[in-house]
Chain A
């Protein structure tokens, strides 16, 4: 039908006569109408391009501002030096201590958020009475709405002291406490998106499993979870990006000393915590110390991009055509 009716504006006469004149004949659209449509289309394109332009702008600023830094510091030093002390009299510019802090706090957060978030999602969609789900889901989403500065002090003043009851040697600033709190904060990112993915699994698949004599839990874990895995993986990736980029909690509760350690009991600084520390300090614009935050920003951007690419690959790999 597309070849006859929609692509050919003068086919109205044919359609009209064939239908015995019941319908008014199709008219070719006016110039004004076509212009209006063109205008709307470009408006939509512009809106869609906006986010791409912003991202492009950020990348441009990050790269151009970090170029002076990399003229001063070789990429080799940046990647292999074991110290990050850009503000000291004897400066070292090795990014790895910050990367280690970021990865360790992120790992702790994910160890909390992924299992808890997934189990909550499975329970909400497969087991919870619908009335309860309607109440619990928005309540859970509030966890992500708490200001992160509140979480930061919650980590310092409550979680770390509580942990010290079990681990007496735990320093006041460490990566475990803020990691756990960060995990709690991102639980709703995992649970909410996973629950949407799980609920999108057609009932027919569940019935197939039940019809073979499976119970509720077996069906949820062996059929529904794998069927929804593509969507659940997106939730995990979003959670990772959120944890990698989280600033306030770690800046407050992890201590701000760069430390090449993957032990969550140690204090450390993350990339984001360093950036906020420098931008609040009194380093002069244009100094290598100041430019170093852009180099750190580029690193953060590359890490997040990497995780997102892995996520996209996983989504494609596990996508199911029900």
Chain B
């Protein structure tokens, strides 16, 4: 379903060619055969967050059933699966977005390391949690404020008042989001004046300013054109050195290009999890194979 629209040409060239697994031909010719798939990551990286026997209910409707899954440090974990499979629901559990709506229920644990904090425990304050785990949404959602004030928002919430400190941190965040050069002369202009891609990078800068430990990305490029998409993909790959990244995407080329680990979900269950190259080129489950080859979904 995403195959024809995917911006293949926009793939970052650094990953091309030698990275692909060429030793043995894959057992079936997959649709991604000609695509760029990231090399397998180093055997094991420390676990930043661990989902354990986790279920989630929208009042009486069960959206996630007994999901267990690690999110590793300095790596990008992609959640893929057809619409309604629960991948966004799972992502939104990490910063307790579901608390905003009545009747939602978490069952099981999501442990955040190093302090082994159970994110979904009732006694954990969602506000302090959200300062450690930032989120970027499907559609750019800058606030009706200036570019400067958008990035300053989270910093002010943390009680930073000093002008010079704000300015310094905002510059760093905008540089990290690869936006500084484009906006440094118009920081006082409304954020709505920016293009869609710039707005989304502003939202990433806003999230990075809080120096989060985990960055949640909910289809961050689904509203953007291929060029803006490719810039944000490059950015995400750079950022993983500093922050654990979880990304929900409908774009399988995107998952293949940028993620180190992939989790395939279907009907609220985790079907398959593994290194991205494994999941895409050597899937263990029939459903995964059908999905990544575009046979359904």
- Interface residues of chain A, those whose CB is within 8 Å of chain B, are 202, 204-215, 218, 222-223, 226-227, 229, 320-321
B137 touches A207 (CB 8 A): yes
User: Which residue, A205, A213, A215, A226, has most C-beta atoms of chain B within 10 A?
Assistant: A213
Given A218-B157, A226-B144, A227-B144, A211-B139 contact (CB < 8 Å)? no
B157 touches A214 (CB 8 A): yes
For the complex, would chain A's binding face be called helix, strand, loop or mixed by DSSP majority?
helix
Complex CA gap A81/B243 in Å reads: 73
Q: Which of B115-142 contact A (CB under 8 A)?
A: 127-128, 130-131, 134-135, 137, 139, 141-142
Tell yes or no: B206 within 8 A of A by CB.
Answer: yes
Given A218-B157, A320-B192, A209-B143 contact (CB < 8 Å)? yes
A321 touches B153 (CB 8 A): no
The interface residues of chain B lying within 8 Å CB-to-CB of A214 are: 127, 153, 157
* 15 A-B contact pairs sorted by A residue (CB < 8 Å): A207-B137, A207-B141, A208-B143, A210-B130, A211-B95, A211-B207, A212-B130, A212-B134, A212-B207, A213-B158, A214-B157, A215-B127, A223-B143, A226-B145, A320-B144
User: What bracket does the count of chain B residues touching chain A fall in?
Assistant: 20 to 34
Given A207-B100, A207-B137, A321-B192, A212-B157 contact (CB < 8 Å)? yes
B128 touches A212 (CB 8 A): no
Q: What is the CB-to-nearest-CB distance from A208 to chain B, in angstroms, rounded to a whole number?
A: 4
Tell yes or no: B210 within 8 A of A by CB.
Answer: yes
Q: A205-B141, A205-B144 are in contact. List 16 more A-B contacts (CB 8 A).
A: A208-B141, A208-B203, A208-B206, A209-B143, A210-B100, A210-B130, A211-B130, A211-B207, A212-B134, A213-B210, A214-B127, A222-B153, A223-B143, A226-B145, A227-B144, A320-B144
Complex CA gap A211/B158 in Å reads: 13
Contact partner of B153 (CB less than 8 A), chosen from A202, A204, A212, is A212
A204 touches B139 (CB 8 A): yes
Q: What is the CB-to-nearest-CB distance from B261 to chain A, in angstroms, rounded to a whole number?
A: 23
The interface residues of chain B lying within 8 Å CB-to-CB of A210 are: 97, 100, 130
Contact partner of A207 (CB less than 8 A), chosen from B97, B128, B206, is B97
Contact partner of B97 (CB less than 8 A), chosen from A202, A211, A223, is A211
Complex CA gap A214/B100 in Å reads: 12
Contact partner of A213 (CB less than 8 A), chosen from B100, B130, B139, B144, is B130
Tell yes or no: B154 within 8 A of A by CB.
Answer: yes
The interface residues of chain A lying within 8 Å CB-to-CB of B158 are: 213
Interface readout for B169-203 with A: 1 if CB under 8 Å, 0 if not?
Answer: 00000000000000000000000100000000001
Complex CA gap A2/B130 in Å reads: 49
The interface residues of chain A lying within 8 Å CB-to-CB of B131 are: 212-213
Residue of B nearest to A212 (CB): B154
The interface residues of chain B lying within 8 Å CB-to-CB of A320 are: 144, 192
B135 touches A211 (CB 8 A): yes
Residue of B nearest to A203 (CB): B100
Residue of B nearest to A204 (CB): B141
Complex CA gap A207/B153 in Å reads: 13
Complex CA gap A223/B131 in Å reads: 18
Q: What is the CB-to-nearest-CB distance from A118 to chain B, in angstroms, rounded to a whole number?
A: 17
The interface residues of chain B lying within 8 Å CB-to-CB of A209 are: 143, 153
Complex CA gap A213/B207 in Å reads: 10
Complex CA gap A165/B210 in Å reads: 54
A213 touches B127 (CB 8 A): yes
The interface residues of chain A lying within 8 Å CB-to-CB of B203 are: 208
B137 touches A208 (CB 8 A): yes
Complex CA gap A202/B142 in Å reads: 12
The interface residues of chain B lying within 8 Å CB-to-CB of A211 are: 95, 97, 130, 134-135, 137, 207
Complex CA gap A215/B142 in Å reads: 17
Given A227-B143, A320-B192, A213-B128 contact (CB < 8 Å)? yes
Residue of B nearest to A229 (CB): B144
Residue of A nearest to B153 (CB): A212
User: Which residue, A202, A208, A222, has most C-beta atoms of chain B within 10 A?
Assistant: A208
Complex CA gap A209/B207 in Å reads: 10
The interface residues of chain A lying within 8 Å CB-to-CB of B143 are: 205, 208-209, 222-223, 226-227
Complex CA gap A218/B130 in Å reads: 15
Complex CA gap A227/B127 in Å reads: 22
Complex CA gap A213/B203 in Å reads: 14
Complex CA gap A213/B158 in Å reads: 9
Residue of A nearest to B126 (CB): A210
Complex CA gap A16/B254 in Å reads: 43
Q: What is the CB-to-nearest-CB distance from B133 to chain A, in angstroms, rounded to a whole number?
A: 9
Q: What is the CB-to-nearest-CB distance from B128 to chain A, in angstroms, rounded to a whole number?
A: 7
Complex CA gap A2/B280 in Å reads: 44
The interface residues of chain B lying within 8 Å CB-to-CB of A207 are: 97, 100, 137, 141
Complex CA gap A28/B202 in Å reads: 53
Residue of A nearest to B203 (CB): A208
Complex CA gap A205/B141 in Å reads: 6
Q: Which of B23-77 contact A (CB under 8 A)?
A: none
Q: What is the CB-to-nearest-CB distance from B190 to chain A, in angstroms, rounded to a whole number?
A: 9
Given A207-B97, A208-B203, A213-B141 contact (CB < 8 Å)? no
Complex CA gap A227/B145 in Å reads: 9
The interface residues of chain B lying within 8 Å CB-to-CB of A222 are: 143, 153
Interface readout for B279-295 with A: 1 if CB under 8 Å, 0 if not?
Answer: 00000000000000000
